[in-house]
Chain A
């Protein structure tokens, strides 16, 4: 379903941060903010919660450790126990380097995959950026109406260069 958002263009990090805060304080719902680089404090201005991707990373890391230890245990103790100088088959300390490497590998790959899934990013995505957003413009998208003079005034006061209405996929 499509919905209508009010886009306002800004030319600096400070303006868009102030405008975002002011708009939220005034009770408008922030649809999204589009910026050429990550802005420090924007998550707090937009009221975003911490990402849960850290948990994906932790879980994937655990999976990596267990997979590596099980693989090494299975191959060195169960499937092909090799007696080298009477040393124990389950020579745990020797298994740590590979376990560590696979922990990092799993954690890294799964976290990035989860990020791509969550943000619906993939090669061939038809999503496009707003004009100049990847260059030098900052855009605040509010769930508001163009006819609302109050919101327009608020945006102008915070340095909006231009305000326009747009239909976006919700």
Chain B
């Protein structure tokens, strides 16, 4: 059955009738026309912000990490908060592209490309922080196990920090491969439309893709395998990040709930960031029919679920702190809620526990403006979650004489702001040079719920109402005589 995957009961994934050719035109348009003023303004802002970050990092590297607000008690603060925050943002991209693919959630097709790109850029931002935290980033290669001239000196494979190195670099590599692999057919589409130098570039990038079904068959197999590999990978990455804390003995960190709690938090904040980006993108590029309200609504539903898991984790932590009878643990949690950083804790609770519940209302769930505001609120909340976990656990340690407070310096804030500049600069460039929506995948769902027929036949009503043939050889399909004329020939091509 050719159209076993279509059903008249199913709501279409893309909301307007488009022919396959129109889809190609539309998705390629932002790359082919001159950038708009809005784009230039956004790009200029992003580059200026990036420049601030570059300046701050250069100053820090030249002077030493003494320019940060860290002290003997609080040795990890802004940088690791930002590291965990950015890694978390990245997770939604892989979740959309891999886990939703395995679950056959076809609605992912309009958003997976941009979400995967977001993953790559977020992981780049994240990776910056541990590297600059080293203080001597030019020695960063010391974290790799390689035979060296310093005796039989190897990295310590029992350290969660080293696990992080492997987790983050594998995550980045596999995400990049997965993203590029998904791009190959679309790069060929761009190649076949381009001229001159651009054609030569895309010819090299598309690896000689010619749409052969023998290749598609293998391609689909490999795509499925990569999705299957990326799914446990994405869960492992934040699990390993949480081990940085969970394997220590600091009250507030030493908890077995951390791995699932961190993964849920990552998906929660990542989806919020995808929403932030997608709402801007669909408005600016006019892709409302491809990234529909339903796409946004589905993502908000994921946010309700993951927000619920995160809230449950907060509650469980508190309960265990009391139930364990461990006075240090109990103190840490009381200090979080009512101590000097209570404002951060309650910001976190308001943003992460209370605000997602607004998505229970259909009105909120289907209003892009409301979703946009809430997605920003959730991102703020998730940043504060990491800040609260890290700083409040450290600032009141076992020895009251070393208790201390932490305030970030301009350098730390500037570095953090600068990573947003890096992220948006890369994302804006991405919208200009690559198709931000997976052309091939959107085409494959364009016919959904329209009797199984590609929208190209929308005008041929008599034809579209026919039921699919079991034995096409015996029952010939009635093709309107002027079939060639019925299809608008848009280009100088043989058919």
Contact = CB atoms under 8 A, between A and B. Distances in A.
B210 A37 contact: no
Interface string A124-168: 111111111111110100000000000000101111011010000
Nearest to B20: A136
A42 B166 contact: no
Contacts of A21: 472-473
B440 interface: yes
Chain B contact residues: over half helix, strand or loop, or mixed?
helix
Contacts of B493: 131-132
Nearest to A121: B207
B444 interface: yes
A156 B479 contact: yes
Contact of B211 (A13, A34, A91, A125): A34
Nearest to A12: B454
Given A18-B469, A135-B189, A53 B174 contact: no
B130 interface: no
A101 B3 CA distance: 39
Contacts of B209: 121, 127, 129, 134
A98 B166 contact: yes
Contacts of B477: 15, 18, 157-159
Nearest to A105: B170
A2 interface: no
Given A128-B210, A134-B192, A104 B473 contact: no
A137 B19 CA distance: 11
B213 A35 contact: yes
B207 A112 contact: no
B257 to A, nearest CB: 18
A101 to B, nearest CB: 4
A13 B219 contact: no
Interface string A62-78: 00000000011001100
A122 B211 contact: no
Interface stretch (B76-84, B222-230, B282-290): B222-230
A82 B222 contact: no
Interface string A38-74: 1111110010101101100100000000000001100
Interface stretch (B150-158, B313-321, B363-371, B415-423): B150-158
Contact of A39 (B177, B213, B232, B479): B213
Contacts of A118: 218
A37 B444 contact: yes
Given A53-B225, A108-B174, A157-B476, 10 more contacts: A11-B487, A14-B452, A15-B477, A36-B211, A38-B444, A132-B495, A133-B211, A134-B192, A158-B477, A162-B494
Interface of B: 1-5, 19-21, 24, 145, 152-158, 160, 162-163, 166-167, 170, 173-174, 177-178, 181, 184-185, 188-189, 191-193, 204-205, 207-222, 225-226, 229-230, 232-233, 236, 240, 243, 439-441, 443-444, 447, 452-454, 456-457, 468-469, 472-473, 476-477, 479, 483-484, 487, 491, 493-495
